[in-house]
Amino acid sequence: MENNYHVCTGCALLCDDIEVGSEKNKINKVFTACRIGMAHMKEGKGEAIFRVDNKSVDEATAINEAVTILRNAKKPLIFGLGASTSETQKIAIKLAKKINATLDDNSSFCLGGVVETLIKNEMKTCTLDDVRNKADVIIYWGTDPSDSHPRLLSKYSYFPRGKEKQRGWEEERTAIAVDVRKSHTAKISGNYFFQIPPKGDEEFIDAVIAGLSGKLPKTSYNYPPKKLLELANILKGAKFGVIFVGCGLIYSLESLESLSRLMKVLNEKANIHLMAMVGNYNSMGFNENLFAETGYLNSVKFENGIVKHGPEYSIVESLKAKTVDAALIVDSDPFSILPRSIVKNLQEIPVVSIDPYETLTSRHSKVYINTAISGVEAGGTATRMDRVKVSFEPVIEANRPSDEAILKKIMEAL
Amino acid sequence: MTNAMELYQMLPKTNCKKCGKASCMAFAVVLMARELKPEDCPPLVEEPKYKENYEKISNIFKPSENATETGLIVHEDLCFGCGNCVVACPPNVANDPHGVGSGNAPTNPNKLVLTVQDGIVKAQNLGECRRFGKNKILCNGCIVTCPVEAIEFV
Ligand code: SF4
Ligand code: SF4
Ligand code: SF4
Ligand code: SF4
């Protein structure tokens, strides 16, 4: 086995230590990747598929049709891009400018708010390598990385030896889970699993803050004060702590105010960092790229050189209000992730889907263009969940075009 | 993973006692516990009509065959390759501190007990496992770190 490492684009950890075996341009063996990563790497093999109205066509026909849809649209929407390379994202942003489109990604209904505080340097954060090298207290809050980012505990946060953590997890690290259910990660946290009722996060935060200031921590759901004080004490003693924030926490909070307050109080007494459990491998990259271009992370609308921003330009609100009349969906499956009532409105407008995978969205699209899997059949760069840039080369040769190439062609034709 | 009932279904079900057990069901139970091996049932090995079942049963016990010395079994259907056990296993750390011990890809695979291949943990080099040999101890590093109880010792 030669040490020729590849990057896995199966999730936002972008594990960079994957070895593969391949035969006849097909990956048949994957080392060190988790099961999600393994399935993702082995997926690459596809022949190009182009469809219009569910009939196979050639590439030129599919692109023509996509161009016609976008040209005829008065208020097009571009959505997705969390699982696209930064290069692809930048073309999509240009395209959105050119056709006066609304542009949004998943972050508008998940972690966008937290990611914004990180990109704007309003919360203390660090890299995953810092976590590995230094972290003594690790909190997984409203997230189950064991399922969503399977190697987060083993590669970076809990189990590995790090520069300043040579004696191992049993002695030198404490893993804590706060969640509404006993997730796989909570199980690993053992006695430091804090189970709270749904929507109980805000009060829990306040109680921890009370505990940190030596007051009796109270909650309406009578969380044992002794356990809360124990938690406050662990946090107070943290030399290098990190909170991994998941959608579970964000969905339960009215605003990020309480989380900011917690971080402030914590950092008066200890050294605590925050990280967002971004799911798609380059969601962070999308937010950064759009921010660099417009000053916003998501939910924007371009109008003759001006950028508008607000919740009304998110995919959910713009579909709800029917303020878009065509959609270009790149590497995302809104038909599966959005509520039925919203998807209904997406069904009423022409959809162009560009995606390596057949999805519910691709099946409901007027135009479907099947593209190379980035990280497996196409190269590029992406931003890891801790904002570290990672670049990758294709592992095998692609039989289908990259989404970058397709977007370029659409752009030129417009 | 299979249970004794499923093993029983694949046995001759004649209760001939040639295996030294009172019934095929009793044999299935000890087979499951790995006290006996599939080839300890003579009819299963000898009679052509059981050939297919013999192969099936042998296959069930094959993946963990080399693990029987320490009794380590990986439930491949449960394991999702998170690597927790790989990184926590003490001999893995000792033999490859900068590779698996630091959460990375193995750099010394010939000395490692646990590695992840094709998204599932593989046990090998069991001579290195702390549960093996004269000075064996009841190490449970790979058990307590697994979120899904995919590793078991029998
Ligand atoms: S944890 Fe994520 S990046 Fe790492 S191997 Fe698994 S899917 Fe790939
Ligand atoms: S030898 Fe085989 S057939 Fe006979 S009792 Fe034992 S298991 Fe059943
Ligand atoms: S019992 Fe201990 S030494 Fe053996 S494989 Fe498990 S963790 Fe490693
Ligand atoms: S056996 Fe458990 S801890 Fe080890 S890789 Fe599989 S799921 Fe993870």
- At A3 the pLDDT is 63
Given a cut of 60, is residue B65 above it in pLDDT?
no
Name the residue at shortest CA distance from atom 5 of ligand 1. A33
Alpha helices for B62-128 (secondary structure H): 84-88, 90-95
Given a cut of 50, is residue B137 above it in pLDDT?
yes
A8 touches chain B (CB under 8 A): no
On the question of a common fold for B4-64 and B72-153, the answer reads no
Phi-psi region for residue B55, left (φ > 0), alpha (ψ -120 to 50) or beta? alpha
Q: Where are the domains of chain B?
A: 4-64, 72-153
Q: How many CB atoms lie within 10 A of CB A215?
A: 13
- Exposed e or buried b for every residue in A146-155, given b needs 16+ CB within 10 A? bebbbbbbbb
Query: What architecture (CATH level 2) is domain A47-110+281-375+394-413?
Result: 3-Layer(aba) Sandwich (3.40)
Closest CA to A361 of A382, A334, A324, A330: A334
- At A220 the pLDDT is 96
Given a cut of 50, is residue B1 above it in pLDDT?
no
- At A44 the pLDDT is 72
Say if residues A400 and A48 touch (Cβ distance below 8 Å). yes
Q: Where are the domains of chain A?
A: 47-110+281-375+394-413, 112-276
CA of B86 to the centre of ligand 4 (A): 8
Q: How many CB atoms lie within 10 A of CB A43?
A: 15
Structure-token match 């009423």, residue found = A348
pLDDT (tens digit, 9 = 90+) per residue, B71-130? 889 999 999 999 999 999 999 999 999 999 999 999 988 999 999 999 999 999 988 999
Band the pLDDT of B20: cuts 50, 70, 90: very high
Read off the tokens for A299: 């939910």
Residues at CB less than 6 angstroms from ligand 1: A 8, 10-11, 13-15, 33-34, 36-37, 149-151
Give domain B4-64's CATH number out of 1.10.15.40, 3.10.20.30, 3.50.50.60, 3.40.1010.10: 1.10.15.40
pLDDT (tens digit, 9 = 90+) per residue, B24-61? 999 998 888 777 889 999 999 999 999 999 998 887 77
- What span, in angstroms and rounded, lies between the C-alpha atoms of B11 and A10? 43
- At A409 the pLDDT is 97
Q: What percent of chain A has pLDDT over 90?
A: 94
Could you say which ligand is closest to the alpha carbon of residue A41? Answer: 1
The H-or-E segment that residue A312 falls in is: none
Q: How far apart are the first and last CA of chain B?
A: 13
B113 Cβ inside 6 Å of ligand 3: yes
B11 Cβ inside 6 Å of ligand 2: yes
Burial category of A397 from C-beta neighbours within 10 Å (exposed 0-12, middle 13-18, buried 19 and up): exposed
Pairing of strands A272-276, A174-179: unpaired
Per-residue pLDDT of chain A (414 residues; tens, 9 = 90+): 446 899 999 999 999 999 999 988 889 999 999 999 999 999 876 788 999 999 999 999 999 999 999 999 999 999 999 999 999 999 999 999 999 999 999 999 999 999 999 999 999 999 999 999 999 999 999 999 999 999 999 999 999 999 999 988 989 999 999 999 999 999 999 999 999 999 999 999 999 999 999 999 999 999 999 999 999 999 999 999 999 999 999 999 999 999 999 999 999 999 999 999 999 999 999 999 999 999 999 999 999 989 999 999 999 999 999 999 999 999 999 999 999 999 999 999 999 999 999 999 999 999 999 999 999 999 999 999 999 999 999 999 988 999 999 999 999 999
Instruction: State phi, psi for A92 to the nearest 5 degrees.
Output: -60, -40
CATH 3.40.50 fits B72-153, yes or no: no
Query: What architecture (CATH level 2) is domain A112-276?
Result: 3-Layer(aba) Sandwich (3.40)
